[in-house]
Amino acid sequence: MGRSIDMGAAALGAPALIDLEELLATRLLVQGNSGSGKSHLLRRLLEQSAGLVQQIVIDPEGDFVSLAERYGHLALDAAECERDLPAIAARVREHRVSVVLNLEELEVDAQLRAAAQFLGALFDADRALWFPALVVVDEAQLFAPAAASDGSDEARRLSLAAMTNLMCRGRKRGLAGVIATQRLAKLAKNVAAEASNFLMGRTFLDIDMARAADLLGMERRQAEMFRDLERGAFVGLGPAISRRPLRVKIGAVETADRGAAPKLAPLPEAMEAEALQNLIFAPGEAPPPPRVRVAPKPELLQEIFERIEAPAPDIVAAPPPELTEEEREAAIEDIISQIVGEAKASQQAAETLHRDFQLRCRIRRLGPNTPDLADFRRRLTIFRAKQAFPEAADEESWGRAVDLAARLPGDLQSVFLYLSRAAAAGQPCPDDAEIAGFFGSASPSRARRMLGELERNEWIVARVDFEQRRIIAFPELGLETAA
Ligand SMILES: Nc1ncnc2c1ncn2[C@@H]1O[C@H](COP(=O)(O)OP(=O)(O)O)[C@@H](O)[C@H]1O
Ligand SMILES: [Mg+2]
């Protein structure tokens, strides 16, 4: 058994334990009617494992934001950062931060899209970042419905695909799904099927009780018991919980849940009819208009581009200038230097910068075949490497370095260009933090991994001189960084 977390009390008061490592490998599915205590159960699980594993909570109702105050989770209001969610998810993965993605302010459609984008970006993280994380999704039937439900087909398709990836293919990437649903019948089958651990709470419909009993390997005639479970009581089974169906009473939690069950409150005293009329029909301020949220429009940029491209109806454009290949290259480099010069360029995704680049190419009328994203990335890196080491460089070797680098994949290409430029300019090897900074990472260990990768494939040879300075040699270029 690995590290266990305490979920509450099992039979005879023994603690009900969940083996965390096993849970990471085998996932968890929770079923129970509204009010049966699913969110409370998830909260208990999150609190008990908070210091042990990264946690990512998809929170449709804003129930889990209170974890932030107590356990330091980052609370993300999806409505405020909708457009940046993929970039945020990528950083969350890189820095292993626990987060609560609060979707409550979004319309259904936008909720589905936001969850899809966020999960998608977690899933797409670089292999080097496949650290273990619990991904908790409450009300999972919203995101992975068994049949048509709220939201547009398109949004539903996206979120269902993201949930399927999470549950079916997430494990290898370190993502362990923990999902709760009111009814299994409402949850897409392939999403439910991948969990090997179950906690089944109170349900009333025959079909739900029967399914719960089936999943737990109980006899059908015992299924009736799910009707009588009290709030907070669940029956668990699975490699991380127990080999036999085990009754569990979920224990107390530390943080408050906002959606506490409504309690009866005494009504105000009855009033005279007239007083009542005055109270209700008194003139006063109109109620505030409902808040309208403008749905984000990913097509917007595209539309703008198309409008720029479409010739204005009655003004005939002058023919584009005839440029030589050299003039064209110079114009492209000039645009790249403008983009790099702008303050926030280093924090923006290459895709965003590329769109900006294309736009500027159009404005300068550089013709149809402007560099595509991959080519643009390469040029951007080359430009930045030259900018980092502007000293009179061995231009011939540098030219060969640029050609060679084209054979390397993305991030390695960027490290190779940066270091070979240092060598061509007769400069010493930058340290790990500088190398990481060059390809937009804050992690020196990532830089070391990439150096290791380059070295294993014999692109570089690294050694340390007698004064402990790192020297990188480039066998194919006949270059090395200065001591
Ligand atoms: N094990 C428990 N111990 C104490 N209170 C609980 C327990 N489980 C649930 N509750 C309370 O019951 C109410 C409903 O629980 P909740 O977790 O929101 O249900 P669900 O998410 O299934 O609709 C909440 O006010 C919650 O605090
Ligand atoms: Mg709930």
Range of the domain at 356: 324-371
What is the best residue among 38, 186, 231 to mutate for testing ligand 1's pocket, by most ligand atoms within 8 Å of CB?
231
Q: Which of 308, 363, 369, 313 is nearest to 338 (CA)?
A: 363
DSSP reduced 3-state for 166: helix
Give the DSSP H or E segment for 397.
helix 395-405
Q: Give the position, in ligand 1's atom list, of the atom nearest the Cα of 251.
A: 1
For residues 75 and 124, state if they share a domain. Answer: yes
Whether ligand 1 lies within 6 angstroms of the CB of 26 is answered as no
| Token pair listed for 240 | 């991380």
- Ligand 1 pocket, residue 60 CB under 6 Å: no
Q: What is the CATH number of the domain that holds 43?
A: 3.40.50.300
pLDDT at res. 363: 80
**pTM of the predicted model as reported, rounded to 2 decimal places:** 0.60
* Ordered mean pLDDT values, 10 residues apiece, the chain (483 residues): 85 90 95 96 96 95 91 89 88 89 94 96 92 96 85 88 94 95 92 92 92 88 93 95 94 80 66 75 60 45 42 48 84 90 71 86 80 90 92 87 88 92 94 90 90 92 89 92 90
Nearest CA to ligand 1 atom 11: 37
Q: Which pLDDT value is given to residue 286? A: 56
Pair (96, 238) in one structural domain: yes
Domain check: are 173 and 128 in the same one? yes
Give the atom of ligand 1 at the shortest distance from the alpha carbon of 249. 1
Q: Is 450 left (phi over 0), alpha (psi -120 to 50) or beta?
A: alpha
Calculate how far, in angstroms, residue 29's C-alpha sits from the geometric centre of ligand 2. Answer: 14
Q: How many CB atoms lie within 10 A of CB 326?
A: 8
Q: Please name which ligand lies nearest the alpha carbon of 33.
A: 1
240 close to 28: Cβ distance less than 8 angstroms: yes
Where does residue 315 fall: left (phi above 0), alpha (psi -120 to 50 degrees), or beta otherwise?
beta
Do 482 and 399 lie in a common domain?
yes
Please answer whether residues 20 and 52 qualify as being in contact, where contact means their C-beta atoms are separated by less than 8 angstroms.
Answer: yes
| 440 conformational bin, left if phi > 0, alpha if psi -120 to 50, beta if neither | left
- What is the domain count for the chain? 3
Any atom of ligand 1 within 6 Å of the Cβ of 231: yes
Same domain, 9 and 139: yes
All residues at 6 or more sequence positions from 29 whose CB lies less than 8 Å from its CB, including other chains: 179, 180, 181, 184, 192, 195, 197, 198, 199
Please give, one letter per residue, the 3-state secondary structure of 427-483.
CECCCHHHHHHHCCCCCHHHHHHHHHHHHHCCCCEEEECCCCCEEEEECCCCEECEC
Query: Is 250 near ligand 1, meaning CB less than 6 Å away?
Result: yes
The minimum-distance atom of ligand 1 relative to the CA of 138 is 21
For residue 215, CA distances in Å to 42, 163, 212, 251 come to: 20, 21, 5, 24
User: Which tens digit of pLDDT belongs to each residue from 155-180?
Assistant: 999 999 999 999 999 999 999 999 99
- Percentages of the chain per state (helix, strand, coil), in multiples of 5: 50, 15, 35
**Residues 354 and 417 occupy one common structural domain:** no
Distance 421 CA to ligand 2 centre (A): 56
Q: Is residue 61 located within the same domain as residue 159?
A: yes
| Residue 332 sits in the same domain as residue 402 | no
